[in-house]
Structure 1
Amino acid sequence: MGAWNYGVFDDDTAYDALDVLKASSNIIADIERYFDEVIQAEYVGYDEAHYALVSAAFIDSVINDTQYRCDGDDYFEWTRLQKCFDFSPLKHKAVKAIDAVLSDNSELKELWEENEELYEAWKEDKLSIKKRLQQ
């Protein structure tokens, strides 16, 4: 696992997902696909979990102006530029995707459960995104 802390953007794979999202020519369709992949999966893979979590955090940033610790220099400017899109219809799928990532059928959750020191913080971080998106 290429993680250095429990936040959404504290993992190498999360930055890969962010780069792909930034390069998207149809960001709404791509985010919906990332959510659908984990919602419909019998077992949520590591990469798919990150793509869904990064997408959920991105929507949280755009809709709720949530500030994440992110090493991407232009993340906050980029999220402000995306306010022209209506991501609110994706909030429900984002919540379901977070639930899928936090389920017992998730590789990412399994890996985090091995970290007794940070697992609860990791889980609470994702639940806080879910809570904001449910509002």
Structure 2
Amino acid sequence: MGTWDIGPFDNDTAADFSYRVDEAPEEKKAEVLRASFREVIETGGEYLDSDVAVEAIASAALVAAQCPDGEPVTTSYGPKNPLPALPAELRPAAVEALDRVLAEPSELLELWEESDGEEWKAGVLRLRTVLSGA
């Protein structure tokens, strides 16, 4: 995975995921995000692949951007087209997915713990706070 910073879209996998979001018909964009959360949540206690986790974090950032106190996704690696209003029921799924990303066994968590893990984890927890407070 090519990663250049700690943000939700600061890696190749999330940038590719953004393209998938852009390519989805407007009425299917929420389902693309929902599917990324579902894929993470359904791993249960099994090993969570980093690419799957990265897509869920990117999805959570897109949902959080529409919440009160959410930060807009302004990076050039995020979706180019604005998202329609997303259903509020995505928020609890996003929180559950983020909780799973931050729980063992998680490849992405392991990778970040080898480098700048605390700063990355703080960013994921900020997303979680926005989503759970909305």
Classify the TM-score, shorter chain: 0.7 to 0.9
TM-score after normalising by structure 1: 0.85
Report the Cα offset of residue 44 of structure 1: 1.3
Asked if the contact 1:7/1:69 (under 8 Å) is kept, the reply is no
Q: RMSD of aligned C-alpha atoms?
A: 1.8
**Per-residue Cα deviation, 1:60-119 (whole angstroms, up to 9, x for no partner):** 1123351345124864x614xx12xx421110010000011111111111111110xx21
- 2:117 corresponds to 1:112: no
Aligned to 1:71: 76
Counterpart CA distance in 2 for 1:114 and 1:47 is 17
Instruction: Provide structure 1 residue ranges, at least 5 long, that are not aligned to the other structure.
Output: none
| Number of residue equivalences | 128
Higher share of residues assigned helix: 1
Q: 1:52 aligns with which of 50, 56, 76?
A: 56
Instruction: Provide structure 2 residue ranges, at least 5 long, that are not aligned to the other structure.
Output: none
- 2:42 corresponds to 1:40: yes
Counterpart CA distance in 1 for 2:103 and 2:79 is 32
Counterpart CA distance in 2 for 1:74 and 1:89 is 21
Name the aligned partner's letter for residue 75 of structure 2.
C
Q: 1:131 aligns with which of 89, 106, 129?
A: 129
Name the aligned partner's letter for residue 48 of structure 2.
V
Aligned to 1:13: 13
Name the aligned partner's letter for residue 39 of structure 1.
I
Name the aligned partner's letter for residue 36 of structure 1.
R
- SS for the counterpart of 1:108 is helix
Q: State, as a whole percentage, how many aligned pairs show the same letter.
A: 33
Residues 5 and 68 (structure 1), Cα distance of their counterparts in 2 relative to 1, 3 Å cut? same
Asked if the contact 1:9/1:69 (under 8 Å) is kept, the reply is no
**Per-residue Cα deviation, 1:21-60 (whole angstroms, up to 9, x for no partner):** 1212312222211111101112211111111111100011
